[in-house]
Amino acid sequence: MAEAHQAVAFQFTVTPDGVDFRLSREALKHIYLSGINSWKKRLIRIKNGILRGVYPGSPTSWLVIVMATVGSSYCKVDISMGLVCCIQRCLPEGCGPYRTPQTRALLSMAIFSTGVWMMGIFFFRQTLKLLLSYHGWMFEMHGQTSHFTKVWAICVRLLSSRRPMLYSFQTSLPKLPVPSVPATVQRYLESVRPLLDDEEYYRMEVLAKEFQDKTAPRLQKYLVLKSWWATNYVSDWWEEYVYLRSRAPLVVNSNYYVMDFVLIKNTNIQAARLGNVVHAMIMYRRKLDREEIKPVMALGIVPMCSYQMERMFNTTRIPGKETDLLQHLSDSRHVAVYHKGRFFKLWLYEGSQLLKPCDLELQFQRILDDPSPPQPGEEKLAALTAGGRLEWAQARQAFFSSGKNKAALDAIERAAFFVALDEESHHYDPEDEASLSLYGKALLHGNCYNRWFDKSFTVIAFKNGQLGLNTEHAWADAPIIGHLWEFVLGTETFHLGYTETGHCQGKANPALAAPQRLQWDIPEQCRAVIESSCQVATALADDVELYCFQFLPFGKGLIKKCRTSPDAFVQIALQLAHFRDRGKFCLTYEASMTRMFREGRTETVRSCTSESTAFVQAMAEGSRMKADLRDLFRKASKKHQNMYRLAMTGAGIDRHLFCLYVVSKYLGVSSPFLAEVLSEPWRLSTSQIAQFQIRMFDPDKYPKHLGAGGGFGPVADDGYGVSYMIAGENTIFFHISSKFSSSETNAQRFGNHIRQALLDIADLFQGPKADS
């Protein structure tokens, strides 16, 4: 095969005269350029490590201190108060570079200046960490900022005024604090009160009291010790025990999806769309490697932890018999591509140069035009990543640990990311509501063997040019992939662009080597495992009911006029909708982030509160005055906002109890309280989707440039999964999932209840006395 010849640097043949080597100059040139590129990356990382390590200092500030010290010496002023002379006396005499007094004096002043500079950096960094530990600003009413918070904000701005790199603030972020056991237990009991009758609540109080007095003190000591030693007392256990040790299939249960722009279309050409998008993704990766991406800042001044971004690219989840492993490589120069049952390896670089969008379009088009059939067992191979983890681990060890299968699997697992070229078309048609749900289903699971669910993310390209992502959850949370997606869509639309015919800009290089087909030798036993995994995954996928819709009557604009947070408004509407749907309340999960702390990920907000249930019950009665209902709603909204802020500032409930449970398992301690808490089902699991993390364009100027967010499968078999994106001033997107096998749930029915609940709550604030 031609591509095989171009992939090697030299060939040789054995002749009667010896071994005849034939060097390929072109291949050796590419190897040389790749080496140069690797060294450039190493030097950039070293430079960034130095600049990050001295932030908020800089080489310029060091030079200023040195010049000030030397200048004062020439002016006969000793600002070192004798320290320079002490350093000078300690330097060796008589030989080498220290021979002359002038050299010794200059060296002493440089050492003194460096010491002052490093002490200053340490002082400023510790001061910034102390300032970032203050979270009182979150609990102040909008427009009623205290003088203390104003002074605090000025100090934070001053200490972080120098342009930061992506990871500049990492060492200045505070550690996630361990809450006290009594506080967590009290908040837990408060959260379950509206869900339990008096007898059940009393029983839980007894269990909680026994745990707090007898078991918890010992567990808490170990947890506090871990918090002193580890960077974050939650994140590593959360990643391991919630994600990597789970033996359930990733499809539906763990992976989630992200949608494309749905109200505009840049091009209908599948290969062209991928050319621009893949190029933009590698541009983002280059910025990530060079730490040129600005850290995400709350209110523009409080930095969020960026550590999750490190494993965005070149990352694969490797199956294990007991626990999986996240494999992350420092670099990868290719992507793996799936089309019509075949796997390809597509190089992203020619030598040290990133392929242009038009070159990438050519390469993707070559894959689309390739007429070769799948090899035996190849078509459904990716179903192994969609089935049980134990079965995949055993198959990987048995059939993919050597030979061509190992080489082909390595090409996929070592790829920057995975690309799926689908043969079907999907898009959102506002006139056909079902189109958005079908689009979401295709992204969530496809046909269960045309996505590589182990990769950090899979880019999915439909035949009509519509795109989307399927994302593995262990390495990071949704806002991280959302940050990449915003950059990619903004860069593709406003910087790279397309020709009038819908192709990528520029002229492609037809001399590029074609993408390489991956070669497999899959025996019958392996094909049986593949088919079994496919059946397991298909059963899961077919059981998922997904209902996605765009809510058009209002968005963030009207909600703000109700003087409440948009998130609290939607969450209370979800409680009202769920009560109308099921006739009862349930334990509700809302994901909030803890990225104001180092290596923070998420915390749970228990959205079903006594205040929200009181409002819902009053609405259900139908006889209360609007003023009373508004008052109850505002109390529920205030409670929800306070709980959200507590979760964000490290005073949540569930991560603390989870870690105490892990410690109890390590120590072999039995706790009926923790066992019951950790086994409670989340029948309503919700998440708000972040947007506009990067200002790539003005949303007011381009109101139709909206993504529809994304979604996930239901957490409980008899529950709902709800994600929503408050996409602008006038629209909200919802993604609701449930299981057909449950007779108690129906995603579309619940979606209709959500619509009505939003309208009913908004109606409370209509009229002349709505602001009362």
CA 647 to chain CA centroid, nearest Å: 18
User: What single letter denotes the amino acid at residue 429?
Assistant: D
Residues paired with 303 in a beta bridge:
297
Phi, psi of 642 (to 5 degrees): -65, -40
Count CA atoms closer than 13 A to 614's CA, side-chain side.
Answer: 15
Return d(Cα 285, Cα 348) in angstroms, integer: 12
Return d(Cα 355, Cα 274) in angstroms, integer: 13
User: What single letter denotes the amino acid at residue 612?
Assistant: S
- Asked whether 422 and 463 are in contact (CB, 8 A), the reply is yes
Return d(Cα 632, Cα 612) in angstroms, integer: 8
Residues paired with 205 in a beta bridge:
none
Integer CA distances (angstroms), 367 to 118, 340, 659, in order: 55, 10, 48
234 CB-near residues (< 8 Å, 6+ apart): 176, 594, 600, 601, 655, 658, 659
List residues with catalytic annotation: 473
- Asked whether 418 and 451 are in contact (CB, 8 A), the reply is yes
CA quadruple 614, 619, 624, 627: dihedral, nearest 10: 80
620 CB-near residues (< 8 Å, 6+ apart): 579, 580
Q: What secondary structure does DSSP assign to 653-712, as a single string?
A: SHHHHHHHHHHHHHHT---HHHHHHHH---SEEEEEPP--SS-SS-TTT-TT--B--EE-
* Of 289, 699, 279, 646, residue with least CA distance to 495: 279
Parallel/antiparallel/unpaired status of strands 315-318 and 302-303: unpaired
3-state secondary structure of 738: strand
Phi-psi label, residue 547: left if phi above 0, alpha if psi -120 to 50, beta otherwise: beta
* Of 292, 413, 129, 128, residue with least CA distance to 694: 292
Residues paired with 710 in a beta bridge:
258
Q: What secondary structure does DSSP assign to 211-229, as a single string?
A: IIIIIHHHHHHHHHHHHHH
* Of 173, 160, 162, 166, residue with least CA distance to 48: 166
H or E segment at 334?
Answer: strand 334-339
Express the helix, strand and coil content of the chain in percent, nearest 5 each: 50, 15, 35
Distance separating the N- and C-terminal Cα atoms of the chain: 78
